[in-house]
Amino acid sequence: MAKTAEVLKPRARVEKIGIGLEDGYRQEAAQELSAILAATYALTIKTQVYHWNVVGPLFKPIHELTEEHYNTLFAAIDIIAERIRALGHLAPVNFDKTASFAPKRGDTEHRAAVDMVEDLIADHEAAVRQMRETAEKADEAGDVVTADMLTDRLTFHEKALWMLRAIVAV
């Protein structure tokens, strides 16, 4: 039993990772992906809050679209975290910062449906800009896996933007 406990005990060590990416790049990519992960968490929570609280004539399309979006965003969280791990770094583990994942108090309260959609549009646009910049760096570093993952994420966000804009088009 003692040997099993010793084997399972976490040890801090520096790993040599030889996947063809420079250590400095992997560190920078992990930091940027951690920021993307936090932003994705925040957008997931905000989207779900709006899903629960939308009212008015746009209720049904917004309610259904936001449910689809928060489910997709939630699945993306795991994909992003696992890419950080594959780059040889820990996914964010400081739970003191989880409060930053949630919308600020009052940000999502008592908003009209159109205001909710416009707020989600702004957050998706910010996500697109952040991911596009990180994907370009990944391409330059030859990190095709991160670039491909971010391309997939960008595809989702750009389609989400199209659908959100279509709901509130006049």
How high is the pLDDT of residue 107?
A: 61
In the three-class reduction of DSSP (H, G, I as helix; E, B as strand; rest coil), residue 165 is classed as helix
Extract the runs of DSSP E, i.e. beta strands, from 16-129: none
Residue 54 to residue 56: CA distance in whole angstroms? 7
How high is the pLDDT of residue 43?
A: 96
**What residues contact residue 107 under an 8 Å CB cut-off, 6+ apart?**
46, 119
How high is the pLDDT of residue 69?
A: 98
| Residues in the chain where the model's pLDDT stays below 50 | 12
**What residue has token string 């399309």?**
61
In contact, 124 and 160? CB cutoff 8 Å: yes
Full set of structural domains in the chain with CATH: 22-168 (1.20.1260.10)
How high is the pLDDT of residue 12?
A: 46
Q: Please tell me the pTM assigned to this model.
A: 0.85
Cα 118 from chain centroid (whole Å):
19
Q: Which amino acid is at 127?
A: A
